[in-house]
Amino acid sequence: MVRGGETEGAGAAEFPEQFRAYSESEKHWQARRAFLLRNMPDAGGGGPLHTDQLLSLSMVWANRLFLGCSYSKDLLDKVTEMAEGIEVGDVPHFTTRDELMKKNQQ
């Protein structure tokens, strides 16, 4: 279940639908959709972004959340701030290589 990021108006709610990837599960899409809605320039979330930048940042956030992808600290800090207030239930936990190595040394 995804909560947060909702905006008023039918136009705002319909805008992100055109950007759903064919391979996205419903859970993945609902989280990324909430991110897009929260950060649309009309939604009052942050500074104005071009659509391609917003889409890219939404993919970074979702890929980190659902797939455990790694990115630079600055980029992760930015998308984490942009996603503030969006709650996604039942997300997977990923163990990093460093965490595995540390655990095996103990």
Query: If pLDDT is split at 50, 70 and 90, which confidence band does 3 have?
Result: low
Check residues 17 and 13 and name the one with the higher pLDDT.
Answer: 17
Provide the whole-model pTM.
0.72
Q: What is the pLDDT of residues 27-70, one digit of tens each?
A: 999 999 999 999 987 655 455 578 889 999 999 999 999 998 99
Distance between CA atoms of 76 and 99, rounded to whole angstroms?
19
Structural domain tally of the chain?
1
pLDDT at position 2 over 60: no
Query: If pLDDT is split at 50, 70 and 90, which confidence band does 17 have?
Result: confident
Name the average pLDDT for the chain.
82
Full residue range of the structural domain in which residue 6 is found = 2-105
